[in-house]
Amino acid sequence: MSDFITVIILLIILIYLVVANIKIVPQAKSYVVERLGAYHQTWQVGLHFKIPLIDKIAKRVSLKEHVIDFPPQPVITKDNVTMEIDTVIYFQITDPKLYAYGVENPMAAIENLTATTLRNIIGELELDGTLTSREVINTKIRLVLDEATDPWGIKINRVEVKNILPPQDIQQAMEKQMRAERERREAIIRAEGEKKAAVLTAEGEKQAAILQAEARKESQIRTAEGEAEAILLVQRATADGIKMIVESNPTQQVIAIKGLEAFTAAADGKATKIIIPSEIQGLAGLATSLTEIMKDDNGNNILKSEGNK
């Protein structure tokens, strides 16, 4: 009976050891396995079994991208301005074995290397160059870190300068400079706007004057053309009238009457003296007609014959 119990106990212990040494490596993970204290292999994703008391998982490594935000580091520029710069490092472990055995404390090593590299780069730049050369600083730091961390199984993907903090007095001077620059640009823009407005106003007045002159010119031309056309029509009408009279072969009496009508129209009730040819005076009823027609405003006769003038 005791032997049976012993077998049961041993069987339970064996099952426990087998189950306890079955390991499943999850996604984006790698296990570094040692056998009898020496590196044996690296387990990737899947089911694995280690020999009890012989194999040991030395390090569990995450293959995801890591982000480290280092605290601000004091640096001195080429023109002796002390400022603080903090950086953010994006890296990924590419070789778990090198990461496990390459360096004792990888994060501290990266931080110290970043601070040293940053001081070297900023020491070659002046204040203005430092503030405007973030991309250059990022690229240089990444290249140096990537080369230094390659033996550690680490790949530096990106380096970003998060903040650049110059001294307080420098910040105030920069703010005043930027304010003055903004005011200068505003004054320039305002002056350019006023200049354009003045030019546009002058152009508008010029165009208006040109249009007015052209309008007056066109009006005078049309007026002159109208008067010329009216004179031409009157002359044509007069010529047509004379032609009709000539073609009708009028008698001497008709001509005399027409002449009298012309004198009457010329007097128009306003003439003070009119001389009538003697050949018109012989017409019948001339004295009566003239008495009614040729009087001044006071009722006095103004007609005199050619013989009584």
Region 193-218 average pLDDT: 89
Assess whether pLDDT exceeds 60 at residue 149: yes
Q: Is the pLDDT reported for residue 28 higher than 50? A: yes
Average pLDDT over every residue of 203-225: 89
204 belongs to a structural domain:
yes
Residues 161 and 223 both lie in one domain: no
Q: Are residues 7 and 57 in the same domain?
A: yes
Residue 284 has pLDDT above 50, yes or no: no
Q: How confident is the model at residue 37 (pLDDT cuts 50, 70, 90)?
A: confident
Tell me: do 103 and 159 sit in the same domain: yes
Looking at the structure, do residues 109 and 157 belong to the same domain, yes or no? yes
> Of the candidates 34, 61, 88, which is a domain's last residue?
61
Per-residue confidence band for 127, with pLDDT thresholds at 50, 70 and 90? confident
Going across the sheet that includes 55-62, the strands are: 38-43, 29-35, 55-62
Look at residue 192 and tell me if it is in a domain.
yes
| Residue 181 is assigned to a structural domain of this protein | no
Identify the pLDDT of residue 254.
62
The phi and psi torsions of 251 (rounded to 5 degrees) equal: -80, 170
d(CA 191, CA 198): 11
In a shared domain, residues 261 and 194: no
Q: What angle do CA 223, 227, 231 make, to 5 degrees?
A: 170
Query: Are residues 79 and 127 both part of a single domain?
Result: yes
Average pLDDT (158-172) is: 84
End-of-domain residue from the set 135, 166, 197: 166
Per-residue pLDDT band for 145 (boundaries 50, 70, 90) equals very high
Q: Residue 275 domain-assigned?
A: yes
Minimal CA–CA distance to 303: which of 63, 74, 191, 292? Answer: 292
Looking at residue 152, its pLDDT comes to: 92
Q: Assign residue 141 the CATH number of its domain.
A: 3.30.479.30
Cα–Cα distance for residue pair 110/156, rounded to 1 Å: 10
Please, which residues have CB within 8 angstroms of residue 89's CB and are 6 or more apart in sequence? 67, 68, 70, 110, 114, 145, 156, 158, 159
Q: Are residues 125 and 195 in the same domain?
A: no
Is the same domain home to 76 and 56? no
User: Could you tell me if 117 and 32 lie in one domain?
Assistant: no
- Same domain for 94 and 119? yes
Domain extent, residue 18, equals 2-61
DSSP H helices, 80-157, are: 96-101, 106-122, 127-131, 134-149
Q: Averaged over 179-202, what is the pLDDT?
A: 88
| Mean pLDDT (whole number) for 82-100 | 91
DSSP H or E run through 132: none
Average pLDDT score over residue span 253-282: 58
Does the pLDDT value for residue 259 go beyond 80? Answer: no
Q: Are residues 92 and 136 in the same domain?
A: yes
When divided into structural domains, the chain yields a total of: 4
Q: Is the Cβ–Cβ distance between 62 and 29 less than 8 Å?
A: yes
What is the Cα–Cα distance from 134 to 74, expressed in whole angstroms?
16
**Looking at residue 226, what is its pLDDT?**
86
pTM of the model: 0.54
